[in-house]
Amino acid sequence: MTARENYERWLKSPYLDESLRQEMAGMSEQEITDAFYTNIKFGTAGMRGVMGAGTNRLNIHTIRKATEGFARYIEKTGPEACRAGVAIGYDNRYHSREFAFDTAAVLARHGITVFVFDSLRPTPELSFAVRYHHCFGGVMITASHNPKQYNGYKLYDAEGCQLVPELADAVTAEVNAIEDELAVKADNTEEQKKLIHIIAEETDKAYFDAVKSIQLNPDVPRNVKIVFSPEHGTSNIPVRTILKDCGYEVIPVLEQCDPLPDFANTPTPNPEQEGAYELALKYARENEADIILVCDPDADRMGVGVRHDGEYVLLTGNQSGSVLIEYIFSQRQAKGTLPANGIMANTVVTSDLGEKIAGGYGVETVKTLTGFKFIGEKIAAYEKSGEKEYVFGYEESYGSLIAPFVRDKDAQQACLMLAEAAAWYKHRGMDLCDVLEECYQKYGYYNESQTSIFLEGESGAARIREIMGALRKERISVIGDVPVILWQDFATFEEGDADGVRELTGFTKSDVLKYFLDDGSWIAVRPSGTEPKIKIYYCICGKSAEDAEVMSAHYHDAMEALLA
């Protein structure tokens, strides 16, 4: 069916939401094409996209279609799955609450028990709620750190982990079998309404107590001053409550504490971007704060700023993850609680520095594909087998998990542990940048960065496929005059070097290419699973900070020319 045919099908439907009908009346041909040329799909973090009318947009009908498919999947699993039910959470974005309660209604029509939060909550608390209420699964309505025009729909399994590909494929098959998303209903009988339960304080308290239990040095002097921003999102109450209960002085960025869906008082809600720190930096300078903590809207990611030599340094996700590893592992080793069979998990596009720090403490690193669900899957497997004990997991994209009572990134845990680390090191005359410098001196100077090529719409999607296809066809052997000594293709399960091509094992299929260079650096390329862009990751290792920076610039130029 063409975009125009899909558009006309929607207009003729008696079930079409009236606000969407009005929006469609003003669409240009290009807007019709972009909104209707395909169906919105699940990616590395579920279903995510721009809100609006269309089969390729997030709206009440595409949400209902996804939920109907999930409900059919649960029904086929059996009556026990229906009774265990689904926990639902949502953030501060436009339509998030509406989508959440509509999701609850669709599930209830299938006789599925529902536990839905009374107001916005962090994504990790939704993961916690799935486990706490012994649910079969969960739904989180959020677009994480994306701009205000986005929303999303994340599905969770009984472990509180986002669906791994095998389960996501099973749900997707049910979703794709639905011929008319507009005919999916969300009205309930009185009996069906009884299946929907509102959850609030009890779950909050249990989650907050679990977060507070991760402290390693609860008696360390709380002599750090913290500026905190939730970026208008869900972390405002949880992070401020937890830090206050643990004795920390927190200075909130008040203009960014209201849960505004348009993120009115921040240039961006994404802690990967400098604009997210503008107002927090102003607060920090005025109050001479030791650290800045910034969370994305659904509170699974945390950004950090550190006062160092009178200036504020913003740490990357790789850097803050490395500092957490150094603090947690050193303290657990000193206390005798670091397990002999411990593992640290990160992704194939995460810096090598964390792995080297972990190795220095005798902890093995396991690599996964991008997406924290793969780390959650590893946690569940090791818990079942007893072969390894999880100690820490993180991604370069500012997300980490310390204690696995949730199975997703958890900014509440990260904020508490970073605050404790800052206090512990300050008591010893150091700041977190000093800790990072010590790691560099011991393991090498790493310059990690990321660039993106945005390619929107149908033509953009085609161009992304063209670029990835060309990279596979050409088999790059040199980048910036430096030989590629090993390449890995996670879509074809191949890797190759001077000895030839062989099978790449231990991963599920993913559109990722990674190039290891002769100087100890690597570069990876992959299409984003949630946005219309190609992402290029750089992990550049130099003999000094200056050397690594020069090398990084050289590689950026080389990749820009290569992908032009």
Adjacent-strand bridge partners of 517 = 484
In sequence order, what are the residues at sequence separation of 6 or more whose Cβ sits closer than 8 angstroms to the Cβ of residue 203?
117, 125, 128, 129, 132, 133
Is 144 an annotated catalytic residue?
yes
| Angle ∠(22,28,33) on CA atoms, nearest 5 | 100
Question: Which amino acid is located at 213 in the chain?
Answer: S
Q: Which of 102, 97, 146 is nearest to 118 (CA)?
A: 97
Q: Give the pairing type, strands 513-517 and 522-527.
A: antiparallel
Cα distances (angstroms) measured from residue 514 to each of 445, 468, 536? 20, 12, 10
User: Which of the residues 144, 229, 235, 330 is marked catalytic?
Assistant: 144
120, containing H or E segment:
none
Secondary structure class of 95 (helix, strand, coil): coil
Q: Give the pairing type, strands 42-43 and 46-50.
A: antiparallel
Q: Which residues of 488-500 are buried (b: 16+ CB within 10 A; e: fewer)?
A: bbbeebebbeeee
Length of the chain: 564
Q: Which of 528, 518, 429 is nearest to 49 (CA)?
A: 528
Beta carbons of 58 and 49 less than 8 angstroms apart: yes
Give the separation between CA 113 and CA 38, rounded to whole angstroms: 32
Residue 151 half-sphere exposure toward CB, CA atoms < 13 A? 25
CA 510 to chain centre: 17
Give the separation between CA 510 and CA 492, rounded to whole angstroms: 8
In 395-444, which ranges are E strands?
400-401
Give the separation between CA 107 and CA 68, rounded to whole angstroms: 7
Residues with a catalytic annotation lie at 144
